[in-house]
Structure 1
């Protein structure tokens, strides 16, 4: 990219500001980035980038830019205020200390310095709103009426006070609360906003307005209010926990993790904080710290511990593989409350992964009775339940699907569940009625950025192509020899792992993901790929040895393990250089059946967002083919390819070839993989416990009309020829 002239910097900045004002944030960040490539010391650019990142729930990233802006423009009050917002919304305890230290010597007016110091000190938990002249007794009389749930009297008294003290933000806030309690939402909103016009730094009013907007189902506006409340009072437990819960539900747990960790450090004995922190960690798949937090939560609740807290601890235990303890804790939860939805469904799902389908079924049926609108229970139940024509469970779920009281999320889950049972019963004509609705809802909730996928794959291929893989010989690499099973989701990777892990020398570790994620982090930094040749030998070595340590801690007695992390194909070369004795198995399947199978299933949140649109499916499949073709061109002998249809047609012959490719001696148990009792946590939890069947081969032909967009795109891409 060419260097910008001074005039071009000015016009580029104006264009970025326009994009920012139109909330085209990604475009604005890109445009601002062009300026920084020419001149990294433009304070206004760092300031605006910081503002955008704060407004888009990336406050921890904003801190770096706003710190830079304070060094470039140390006298600018607005820059320090913005940095304070970023610290409040996404800073660690250390970041807060560093900010306060820098603030002491900041060349800004003393009033601003005191205001910012108080935000992280005397006013971190509660603001000091404008009283308008009201005395403490008058304010307390209003508060007492609200706390006593006497809103009519509170409204009358607040109105009287406002005639006497028209600039009292507190009186407006109490008036709003009284109006809200009486169902006058429009009046309450107007009163809250009047309070905030008088005192824009009134954290509690922002929080209360946010709660009102939530009750009016205006979630985006509510989120802005809670974000503002937390930025003003970063120690407010209620504001932080509400914001955190909203962000976790929206899939943004990463953005609030620093807030929750900071809050838990300040309030080490608060069960409520630990509960939300545990949810955030679990949502981020940080299961080991989540289990520690859940255990701490149970400990601090003592004799008052309830079934939901115990159930959450049990769920985290299952995630770290401590299933026996998890079952023990689930049973303790159910003794406290046999009708605890979280304990009943949690134990059902664990029994399902262990192959104890009959026990799981009975618990799921109980879950339907005690939590009838929970769509996830129906979907999970359907994974291990085989419906027959006329099965009453189909119509029960179909009727529930039409229930107008269902949330979109519950209807989505039910849609996937009932479509699966309809296919079981060979009622093919009705399947897509539910499947298209379910996928449409998921696509709406989780839109996929195809441009980013194309960019990442192209950048990786370019970086990989510049490296001499065959000549790579890194001293000090580990002899650890995991077997990576990779491919598209629903291509048969779980079946392949089940076969390999039936060997006496191999333990199936499931979708570990650590190695693939570490490799990705090694080469991708904020969307940019590091030149592979710039990696140091010790970085390759650490990639392998760190993964070995991770696995040894979890599977200390296993001679070998399988890692069924499907994204491993993206970093195949890196992982092979780091672990020269590792084996790689790439699973291929007819894309028509493969993509249909993806479209029929809901994946864990924040994963495979492309799965819910037929055209996105084909595009992502194309990038998978491109990546595998790349490795075949450069290192064809570094991996073994399995064609799913060949395995189904000739199971013994193909299984023997597979086991040999893994460097293992033949064992007959590999043909009896369905008798393997290991825990399975993927969508194939039921299928892998059945003998090989041809039932899912060419299943796409049942749905040619419904799959026309996908089938046409596959033909146009040259991925199928008939």
Structure 2
């Protein structure tokens, strides 16, 4: 018996809801073969492609769906996909063409909020998150997304309420549990340890265990129970580490190849784009990059564009390599054959949706440290500031940090020793960049900045060709949104509380100390 289009459509939706992507795909392909203008079939095919990581294909399918039905839900998902793909201009144009008053679906409103959050439009995103919660109060993820946005905007009380509401609806909502622990300082009289331990015993997914393990570690650390904190981290990371081990051999080869290419192409005389707008603040995560971003963006001539992926994405796009990763040896080889002026222009064009017409903007993606030589070639007048922090504080800080789940860049942080090995490669590459690029590449020691802030802030502004402004010292009064792990910390005046925190975990660091010492990396007291 031949199924009707309507039956195929309903069967596809049912299969999707049951997680049977392959069966859903078969139904949807049958629909579009029979009825080539069936908008929802193209849209649902796009949603399948999002699930399997084929974002570009998903974009093409949603655009096809919109040819036949100008559906608000389609527009919302298209904006989100554009944002995920780094097409910020298209994401903004798509999201902002939707009239909030016309949105009558909670999922559509939430999706638009997510899209706007991805491109840094947090205030606009908040309106859509609120609309989602006006329509329905039973979805924990909507409360979680609202809470994250409130946290970015510094409204910590609203964030706390939203996370608690998500947990009330779904007691094992691991993201909300972690976000709440990360937001609030635990005390002996007020903590979530009993609840978190109970949740951990009732979950099995590696991602959920990772979140709850980090939440437990954060609260144990607040209570100065450092051995318990370290054990919670090990416990929480254990299943994820088995699932996704960091490839140290591939990482070693990548770092070595970057050094080799920069040496081979030292004499390139081709001139890149002459813009002096970008200020790149980079370094290992948890090394003080957000602090420097806040200091510089307190200056009237500087705005923060956040952690932009654009330089790597533009390099990959122009290199036209078919490899699956944005950053790999094949792409780097091709990158050195590019027109560097074109690369610089492509980067500036890609960032314009966020940066507007500001005199200077900060790109604070930590892992831009891989691209320093290419940045210098494509944007020779850009400023590059690299943070260095005590290696033990950096390593334990990365191990303690819950980074973006399933992002291969951060996979080293699932193992303390993998983190130490990654830090060693980073450290030696930064020494190489300083030797190669001299005064065009500024290494800034986090501890020195904290201990003598005015001197180093004056020096930092001078390096960036910015006149002195006293508000740069009062960066904690800066009210612009913060979307990194330091979102609470950087709203406090400059202090040395985080210096030497590694000593709280010293009994667990013997192997790390021995390794770093063997790599000729100074471990300051």
1:565 aligns with 2:365: yes
- Structure 2: runs of 5 or more not aligned: 324-328
1:703 aligns with 2:505: yes
Q: CA RMSD in A?
A: 3.7
Partner of 1:411 in structure 2?
209
1:642 aligns with 2:444: yes
1:663 aligns with 2:465: yes
Of 296, 319, 323, the residue aligned with 1:500 is: 296
CA contact (8 A) 2:43 2:62 kept: no
Of 383, 386, 400, the residue aligned with 1:600 is: 400
Partner of 1:689 in structure 2?
491
Tell me the secondary structure at the aligned position of residue 584 of structure 1: strand
The offset of 1:689, in angstroms, is: 0.7
Partner of 1:264 in structure 2?
65
1:472 aligns with 2:274: no
State how far apart, in whole Å, the 2-side matches of 1:490 and 1:335 are.
37
Closer/same/farther in 2, CA of residues 691 and 296 from structure 1, 3 Å limit: closer
1:341 aligns with 2:140: yes
Higher mean alpha-carbon deviation, 506-515 vs 451-460, is at 451-460
Of 307, 313, 317, the residue aligned with 1:511 is: 307
Partner of 1:352 in structure 2?
151
Partner of 1:436 in structure 2?
234
CA contact (8 A) 2:86 2:309 kept: no
Q: Deviations over 1:590-626 (max 9, x none)?
A: 1211111111122224242222122322232232123
CA contact (8 A) 2:241 2:415 kept: yes
RCO greater where, 1 or 2, for CA within 8 Å and sep 6 or more? 2
1:458 aligns with 2:256: yes
Q: Deviations over 1:52-82 (max 9, x none)?
A: xxxxxxxxxxxxxxxxxxxxxxxxxxxxxxx
State how far apart, in whole Å, the 2-side matches of 1:335 and 1:389 are.
36
Higher mean alpha-carbon deviation, 412-421 vs 435-444, is at 435-444
Tell me the secondary structure at the aligned position of residue 361 of structure 2: strand
Partner of 1:541 in structure 2?
341
The offset of 1:428, in angstroms, is: 1.2
Higher mean alpha-carbon deviation, 484-493 vs 367-376, is at 367-376
TM-score, normalised to structure 1's length? 0.63
Partner of 1:530 in structure 2?
333
Tell me the secondary structure at the aligned position of residue 674 of structure 1: helix
Closer/same/farther in 2, CA of residues 663 and 387 from structure 1, 3 Å limit: same
State how far apart, in whole Å, the 2-side matches of 1:372 and 1:294 are.
32
The offset of 1:490, in angstroms, is: 1.0
CA contact (8 A) 2:92 2:353 kept: no
The offset of 1:457, in angstroms, is: 2.5
State how far apart, in whole Å, the 2-side matches of 1:364 and 1:316 are.
20
Tell me the secondary structure at the aligned position of residue 507 of structure 2: coil
Of 169, 176, 181, the residue aligned with 1:377 is: 176
1:490 aligns with 2:286: yes
Tell me the secondary structure at the aligned position of residue 693 of structure 1: coil
CA contact (8 A) 1:307 1:340 kept: no
State how far apart, in whole Å, the 2-side matches of 1:211 and 1:334 are.
28
Q: Deviations over 1:618-653 (max 9, x none)?
A: 232232123222222222221111111222222222
The offset of 1:658, in angstroms, is: 1.9
1:449 aligns with 2:251: no
Which entry has the higher C-alpha Rg, 1 or 2?
A: 1
CA contact (8 A) 2:286 2:397 kept: yes
The offset of 1:233, in angstroms, is: 7.5
Of 617, 621, 625, the residue aligned with 2:419 is: 617
Q: Deviations over 1:129-168 (max 9, x none)?
A: xx7xxxx8xx99xxxxxx9xxxxxxxxxxxxxxxxxxxxx
Higher mean alpha-carbon deviation, 338-347 vs 582-591, is at 338-347
- Counterparts of 1:25-424 in structure 2, within 5 Å, are 248-249=50-51, 252-254=53-55, 257=58, 260-261=61-62, 264=65, 268=69, 280-286=81-87, 289-290=90-91, 305-404=104-203, 407-424=205-222
State how far apart, in whole Å, the 2-side matches of 1:392 and 1:225 are.
46
Partner of 1:556 in structure 2?
356
Partner of 2:326 in structure 1?
none
Closer/same/farther in 2, CA of residues 280 and 479 from structure 1, 3 Å limit: closer
CA contact (8 A) 2:86 2:313 kept: no
State how far apart, in whole Å, the 2-side matches of 1:248 and 1:712 are.
44
Partner of 1:27 in structure 2?
none
The offset of 1:679, in angstroms, is: 1.0
Q: Deviations over 1:278-300 (max 9, x none)?
A: 6655544545545666678888x
State how far apart, in whole Å, the 2-side matches of 1:249 and 1:531 are.
30
Tell me the secondary structure at the aligned position of residue 704 of structure 1: helix
State how far apart, in whole Å, the 2-side matches of 1:627 and 1:340 are.
46
Tell me the secondary structure at the aligned position of residue 192 of structure 2: helix
The offset of 1:531, in angstroms, is: 6.4
State how far apart, in whole Å, the 2-side matches of 1:424 and 1:277 are.
41
CA contact (8 A) 2:80 2:114 kept: no
State how far apart, in whole Å, the 2-side matches of 1:683 and 1:355 are.
13
State how far apart, in whole Å, the 1-side matches of 2:135 and 2:63 are.
32
State how far apart, in whole Å, the 2-side matches of 1:452 and 1:296 are.
44
CA contact (8 A) 1:524 1:530 kept: no
The offset of 1:573, in angstroms, is: 2.4
Closer/same/farther in 2, CA of residues 260 and 479 from structure 1, 3 Å limit: closer
State how far apart, in whole Å, the 2-side matches of 1:308 and 1:646 are.
48
Tell me the secondary structure at the aligned position of residue 635 of structure 1: helix
